[in-house]
Each structure stands twice: as C-alpha cells, then as structure tokens.
Amino acid sequence: MSTADLADMVGGGEVLVLTGAGLSTDSGIPDYRGPGSPPRTPMTFQEFIASAGNRQRYWARSHVGWARMGGAEPNAGHFAIAELERRGLLAGLITQNVDGLHQRAGHEDVIDLHGRIDRVVCLDCGTHSGRAALQERLDDLNPRWSAQDVVLAPDGDVLLEDTGAFVVADCERCGGRLKPDVVFFGESVAKDLVAHCFALTEGARALLVLGSSLHVMSGLRFVRRAAAIGTPVAIVNRGSTRGDSLADVRLDAGCTPTLEALLAGLPAGLSSADAGGSSRAGSPARS
C-alpha cells in the first residue's frame, strides 16, 4: 500500500480519525509500544487509590514529567490533521492521547477518549481544576524537585526511584485525593463517551488510525465495529497493530511524514463538497 491509496480514501471525505501515542513521538513524548520502546509498567487506577504511598510515588514522578511534557509543541502531523479538518474532510477526531496537542494545533472537534493530563479531578468531591495551578502548589511544597535530570516516559511520567520525600498536595476544596483527569489503566471510559464514538464510527465513510498499536480495547473496538459494518479502515503505524488483519490500507511508517505526503497528494483546497460528500463533524465534540 502507498500514500496514494491513503489519499484516495481521505479525499472522499467523511473520514473519522483515531490517533495514538505514535502521533506525538515527534513532539518528544515517548510512546508505550513503538519499535525500540522499553517495557513500561504504568500505575493502575487500583494501585493509585490503594495507598497514600502509591499516590506519593505517582505525583513525585508526574510532577517532574509535567515540567517537561507541558512544554511539548504540536508537530507537523498534528497540524496536518487540523488542515484536513479545515478542509471539511473529517467526520471527527478521537484521540487516545492525553497531551492536548491536537487542540494546540488548532483542531476544533476533538474527543479526548482518555481525558487530558492538563486537568485534575478530586476523587472525593469531584472538583475539577487546572494542572498548571497544581504544578505551582507542588513547586512550593517541593522546591527544586522538578529540576531533576530524568528520562521522560509516556504520558508525562518519568523514571525516578527515590520519591519518599515528596509532599503531595490535597484538594483545596475538601482535602481529598487528587488525580489527573485521565483514564488510568484499569479504569473504564465513560459509557456515554464510548457510545458517541461508536455513533461517529457508524456514520463515517472511512476510519483512519494514526500512531496506535491498538493494544488496548478502548481504541480497537472502533476498528472492529468499522470492519464489521464494511467501513474501510486505514492504519498508519510503526510496527504491527492488533487491527492489521482488519485494515484495507496498512502503512508501516511514521505518522508525520505520511501525513505530510498525504496532504501533498490531495488537490490543493480539496474539501468534502469537492469530493462529493458532506462532513458529519457536526456531532457534539467531547473535549
């Protein structure tokens, strides 16, 4: 398969895009399962709520990671997808990433399937707040902690063993347990959000997967649904994915160069109206 096959699919419009960590690696954010990625054992939700010590370990590492991940910038792949939206060729965008880079690239209709790392939620009273404000509080409680020289891991984590001196901040409203507003391993995506994504899948003319190994069911289920109803599926990813047997177009390649080539292969200014279709991006976005 080639980018020309991909251009034929995308040029018809009404394409639902599903993105994963492989899209953000060119922004300096590591992925979990890309070629050459070391094995990772992320903290599960059950571990996070089980003990104060586990939460201390999580926040100590995440505090350092946020100081680096928070400065990541969208790459050319993010901007290319935003351009496809601008041209009216997309039926929507579902991202498994929590970095918010699609929005920073100017994309307007984004479904953050696994939440956003730049938001925080209290597990006890449900209050939502911004991560930047929490970062300032943690800096005050732990001077110079974020200045440590560490290796960045996926989703803003870092490789850091000695966390026993870290002081965790509690909810300012109730004194409860704070957690990033993201779906941890072991948690489930909200049922209404899943239902909305299935509706987008069933209404799209094609499904394009970018930078995901589809290792977890939260993304794979949409590929399976598309294939089951006869919707063409294209997958662009370095390395194999769990959806390869369902793909009509499969490119073992990086997302950024593929998307740049895709845009170059589309007629300048091509929109869904030019392609004879109509965008279904009017579905309510969940972000």
Distance CA 158, CA 156 (A): 7
Which helix (H) or strand (E) segment is 119 a member of? strand 115-122
Establish whether 156 is an annotated binding residue.
no
Contact 145, 166 (CB under 8 A): yes
Establish whether 29 is an annotated binding residue.
yes
Establish whether 238 is an annotated binding residue.
yes
Establish whether 34 is an annotated binding residue.
yes
Nearest to 112 by CA among 251, 287, 270: 287
15-19 and 206-210: which strand pairing?
parallel
Q: Which residues of 170-192 are buried (b: 16+ CB within 10 A; e: fewer)?
A: ebeeeeebbbbbbbbeebebeee
Establish whether 207 is an annotated binding residue.
no
Establish whether 219 is an annotated binding residue.
no
* Encoded amino acid at 267, one letter: P
Mind telling me the catalytic residues? 114
Establish whether 24 is an annotated binding residue.
yes
Establish whether 30 is an annotated binding residue.
yes
Establish whether 287 is an annotated binding residue.
no
The binding site for Zn(2+) consists of 122, 125, 171, 174
Give binding residues as ranges. 20-40, 96-99, 122, 125, 171, 174, 211-213, 237-239, 255
What residues are designated binding site for NAD(+)?
A: 20-40, 96-99, 211-213, 237-239, 255
